Amino acid sequence: MTQETPSSEARRPDRAALAIAVGIAIVAAIIAYSTATAVGGSATRIGPAVFPYTIAGGLFILAIWTAFEAMRGDFPEREEQQIQPVVWIVGGLVAQMLLLHITGFAIATGLLFAATARGFGKGPLWMTIPVGIVLSFIIWVIFAKGLQLSLPAGPLERLI
């Protein structure tokens, strides 16, 4: 099917790609189930259920196709990934999400800033967190006061 690769070693099934195939199949099943159990809908023949079923069907075919390519090892080679930076950045986003309405925009976003910088290897946190909070506070003043965006206020923002 695809172009021959010069590498002589036999290609092994790609487990991660197989997992993707399973994931796509699950999404297809969820769409089909959710559509089948939906109440209401219009009486016309081409109602709101037609497209979900079509898309679920398409995803199911793509899942089989993905599994096929995964077994043949047809997926492109992946660069080795570092997990730690991803954990820092996702951690920063989670912290911002949970703290936004408690501490306000500046502190929550300052933590995200510092965590992202840490993900790229820049520390120490006692320096980057204050930098992030000051920066986010300035942004809050510009966008919440200047452009009327509704950015949540916390103890810091209430000072002005």
Partner 1 sequence: MDSFTLLAHGFAVAFQPFNLLYALIGVTLGTAVGVLPGIGPALTVALLLPVTYKLDPAGSLIMFAGIYYGGMYGGSTTSILLNTPGESASIVTALEGNKMARAGRGGPALATAAIGSFVAGLIATMALALIAPTIVKFALSFGEAEYFALMMLAFMTVSAAFGDSTLRGLTALFIGLALGLIGADGLSGQVRLGFGIPDLTDGVEITTLAVALFAIGETLSVAASKSTGEGKIEPVKGSVWMNREDWSRSWKPWLRGTFIGFPIGAMPAGGAEIGTFLSYSVEKQLSKKPEEFGHGAIEGVAGPEAANNASAAGTLVPLLTLGLPTSATAAIMLAGFQQFGLQPGPLLFATNPQLVWGLIASLLVANFMLLVLNLPLVGLWVRLLSIPRHWLYAGILVFATLGTIGANPSTFELGMLLLFGLLGYFLRLFGYPIAPVVVGLILGPMAEIHFRRALQISQGDFTVFVGSPISVILLLLAVCAVVIPLVLRARGKGKVLAALAANED
Residues numbered 41 to 80 that lie near partner 1 (CB under 8 A) are 41-42, 44-48, 50-52, 55, 58-59, 62, 65-66, 69, 75-76, 78-80
The answer to whether residue 34 forms part of the interface with partner 1 (CB under 8 A) is yes
Distance separating alpha carbons of residues 124 and 119, to the nearest angstrom: 11
Distance separating alpha carbons of residues 116 and 111, to the nearest angstrom: 9
Q: How many residues does the chain have?
A: 160
| Count of residues touching partner 1 (by CB under 8 A) | 76
Smallest gap from Cβ 20 to partner 1, in A, equals 7
How far from the centroid of its chain's Cα atoms is residue 139's Cα? 24
Nearer to partner 1, 39 or 160 (CB): 39
CA angle 20, 22, 24 (to 5 degrees): 70
The residue within the footprint of partner 1, chosen from 25, 92, 107, 133 (CB under 8 A), is 92
The answer to whether residue 37 forms part of the interface with partner 1 (CB under 8 A) is no
Amino acid in the structure at residue 105? F
The answer to whether residue 3 forms part of the interface with partner 1 (CB under 8 A) is yes
Nearer to partner 1, 2 or 8 (CB): 2
Smallest gap from Cβ 141 to partner 1, in A, equals 13
**Which backbone phi and psi does 85 adopt, to 5 degrees?**
-60, -40
Among 67, 53, 54, smallest CA distance to 25 is for 67
The residue within the footprint of partner 1, chosen from 18, 29, 85, 141 (CB under 8 A), is 85
**Which backbone phi and psi does 21 adopt, to 5 degrees?**
-60, -45
Distance separating alpha carbons of residues 37 and 99, to the nearest angstrom: 37
Give the footprint of partner 1 on residues 103-122 (CB under 8 A). 105, 109, 112-114, 116-117, 119-122
The residue within the footprint of partner 1, chosen from 29, 125, 139, 141 (CB under 8 A), is 139
